[in-house]
Structure 1
Amino acid sequence: MKNSLRTGPLRTGPRRVAPVRVAPVRVGSLRSGALWLAWRQQRVLVGIGAAVLAAAVAIAAYYRSGMLDALHSGLFDHCGTGPLYCSRTDTGQPLVLDIAPLQYLGMLNIALPVLIGVFWGAPLLSRDRELGTHRMVLAQGISRGQWFASRFGLAAATTVILSGLLAGVFTWWWRPAADRSYGLFWYDSTALSGSGPRVVAAALFGLAAGTLLGLLARRVLATMGLALLVTGVMTLLLEWTHRTRLLVSPHTYVSAGIVPKAPMGDKWSTGHYGLITASGRHDDVLKCPFPSGADLRECMAQHGYVARFYEANPAGDYWTFQWTDTAVLGGLALLFTAATMLLLRRRV
């Protein structure tokens, strides 16, 4: 039997190995990878935001439908914008719409910067830094700028969409009963701070503040506590500026003592009333505590008063308050974002 195994000469030289070709890494793939990772980390928060928005839309549609049915019933036809209240023609009972759910939505919009700053902005960078997972991401060829931009960009885009839609839902629900004695006036805190572009600016402020604090504090729990403090104080501070008219000055309305003063209507009174002398001095209204009539004219003549005044903000100042708050909160959001980008190289 012949052996089929053939042996050849023994080769002792070096063996040739085929060169391995490494595919070039594209910048676009790194960016898409960073964005995909950011989505994986934030998709739960995005889902929660979508659920909150869906619930708000459903509740607004339900209660707004009931509000329109009540308005179309004719029960409120005799009510105007002037009186501070409206009553039933038969029993004299006050007539008001059920605006409590609307005010709850306004409170949610006011609290957005606190919620977003604590639960979204604070862990955005601090969680990776605390666990050290950012080093693994940066080792894959993703730069610090791409790592930050993918996370913050996704969070900021979602924040703008969510806050903008929530503010729009509030306005859509509020409009049928806006500035009515049976509804909600524009200067109510839930309407003034829970609607309009300032809601978006406030939400971005909360996100930017939480992100910057996360870069500085590094620990998630510590960052969340700091974010709660900073965003909460800023929210309360702006509400204080509204009440004190610190950023938006009131108008002074003057009337003679011989005629009744113009009704307050939808103006937001400061509660400051008084009397004016010929020299222009403003005195307290208690100097002549009489309504329009003969007693008031006699008292004014005795003390040398030539006119009365009161201070209030007209309804048109709603937009002045809105754009003032938007400028303040938006400016702080841009400042905090710029500071985060500048400190990124030193801290990460």
Structure 2
Amino acid sequence: MIRMSLRQFRIQALVGAVLLILAAIYLIHLGSDIRAARDTSRLPGQYGQTMLFLAAGFGLVPALIGAFWGAPLIARELESGTHRLVWNQSVPRRRWLAVKLMVLGLTSMAVAGTLSALLTWAAAPVDQAAGDRFSAILFGARGIAPIGYAAFGFTFGAVTGLLVRRTLPAMALVFLAVIAVQFAVPNLLRPHFMPAEQVTVPMSADAINQARSLGSITGGPVVGGLEIPDAWVTNTSKLLTPDGRQLSDTAFNECFNNAPKTGATGTFGDTAACLGKLDLHVDMAYQPNRRFWPFQLIELALYLGLSALLAAVGLWRIQRRVS
């Protein structure tokens, strides 16, 4: 069974091996260039965009594994009817599916783990200089969590193919669904893996000028992009007055649109100076960088648990409903 599964998978394995080798060559070269830089403080500016691009690209790997390795695995057999030949040779259905999931699932995890290890090594000096590997995009391309993503993508693809029984629809569905899950987990679940630390930050004119954005589409008292050193900011309140109430839209818009001309410099100039005189503050929730590995373990366990649940559903389904 294992040998037959590998033979059926040889084309996909060959393509994956070639792409993995090319990625490894590039990442080793990139890591060597980064380590050759003399001024490490300039690394985030030189390679920050490259790291974001690589992390976003590697974020597609689980979806590609699910769509091109997982979805056709069973759906193609059901479409062509070759599953009946195997079952007529006294091979139990559950064993047939379990072997396929085990062999090719472990292969998917090995590929993702190798890519993650290489990127983690290549990006280490940049991450250290920037103090940032906890953000939503970068976190998913570092450490051991990508192993769980690959396991989930592959298992979800295989079970979806079993249920849909058509290769192309299953591939499209799996690709979109895995991307949706990878978007939802960092935004909805990851910030709550552990209780966030809380801090109150006074909003002086200098502090406001350090923000990336000010105001919202509706004109609300929102300040965005505030950072805490060595931490991932998960939530920032609206601008608050000394008594803890939200600054009124009227007061905010007055400073935003009609701030007195003082000649103040900085990103937001006179607006920041006007708001700075109101003794405002924001409440911020954050996850310190020291929690990176606990979060990695939690996310790995989450995705492996989902994979095991999906595999159980597939084993139940193939025994009772598939003919």
1:123 CA displacement? 0.8
For residues 283 and 320 of structure 1, the distance between their equivalents in structure 2, rounded to whole angstroms, comes to: 34
Deviations 1:156-201 (CA, angstroms, capped at 9, x unpaired): 11012111111111111111121424xx721334321111222111
2:83 corresponding residue in structure 1: 134
- 1:284–1:198: structure 2 CA closer, same or farther, 3 Å change rule? farther
For residues 116 and 302 of structure 2, the distance between their equivalents in structure 1, rounded to whole angstroms, comes to: 18
2:57 paired with 1:108: yes
1:315 corresponding residue in structure 2: 289
The 3-state SS of whatever aligns with 1:63 is helix
2:311 paired with 1:337: yes
2:232 paired with 1:268: yes
1:55 CA displacement? 1.4
2:25 corresponding residue in structure 1: 58
State which structure, 1 or 2, has the greater radius of gyration over its C-alpha atoms.
Answer: 1
Q: Which has the higher helix share?
A: 2
For residues 224 and 193 of structure 1, the distance between their equivalents in structure 2, rounded to whole angstroms, comes to: 22
> In the alignment, is the contact (CA less than 8 A) between 2:236 and 2:282 conserved in 1?
no
1:65 CA displacement? 1.3
For residues 78 and 158 of structure 2, the distance between their equivalents in structure 1, rounded to whole angstroms, comes to: 12
Query: 6, 9, 16: which one pairs with 1:42?
Result: 9
2:134 paired with 1:221: no
> In the alignment, is the contact (CA less than 8 A) between 2:63 and 2:179 conserved in 1?
yes
Letter in 1 for 2:175: L
Deviations 1:297-341 (CA, angstroms, capped at 9, x unpaired): 9855xxxx9x87433322123334423432332221111100001
> In the alignment, is the contact (CA less than 8 A) between 1:268 and 1:313 conserved in 2?
yes
1:154 corresponding residue in structure 2: 103
Letter in 1 for 2:68: F
1:52-201 superposed matches below 5 A:
52-70=19-37, 73=38, 75-76=39-40, 79=41, 96-181=45-130, 185-201=132-148
1:242 CA displacement? 6.8
The 3-state SS of whatever aligns with 1:265 is coil
- 1:285–1:252: structure 2 CA closer, same or farther, 3 Å change rule? farther
TM-score (norm 1): 0.70
> In the alignment, is the contact (CA less than 8 A) between 2:236 and 2:283 conserved in 1?
no
> In the alignment, is the contact (CA less than 8 A) between 2:66 and 2:174 conserved in 1?
yes
Question: What is the aligned residue count?
Answer: 284
- 1:319–1:274: structure 2 CA closer, same or farther, 3 Å change rule? farther
> In the alignment, is the contact (CA less than 8 A) between 1:241 and 1:247 conserved in 2?
no
> In the alignment, is the contact (CA less than 8 A) between 2:156 and 2:310 conserved in 1?
yes
1:31 corresponding residue in structure 2: none
- 1:284–1:59: structure 2 CA closer, same or farther, 3 Å change rule? farther
1:222 CA displacement? 1.9
TM-score (norm 2): 0.75
The 3-state SS of whatever aligns with 2:90 is coil
- 1:66–1:285: structure 2 CA closer, same or farther, 3 Å change rule? farther
1:109 CA displacement? 2.7
For residues 284 and 268 of structure 1, the distance between their equivalents in structure 2, rounded to whole angstroms, comes to: 25
1:250 CA displacement? 3.3
For residues 296 and 233 of structure 1, the distance between their equivalents in structure 2, rounded to whole angstroms, comes to: 39
Identity %: 24
1:223-238 superposed matches below 5 A:
223-238=170-185
Deviations 1:92-148 (CA, angstroms, capped at 9, x unpaired): xx9722344443432233112211111111111111111011111122222212321
1:216 CA displacement? 1.0
Structure 2 unaligned residues grouped into runs of 5+: 208-226, 256-273
- 1:321–1:296: structure 2 CA closer, same or farther, 3 Å change rule? same
The 3-state SS of whatever aligns with 1:178 is helix
For residues 135 and 297 of structure 2, the distance between their equivalents in structure 1, rounded to whole angstroms, comes to: 17
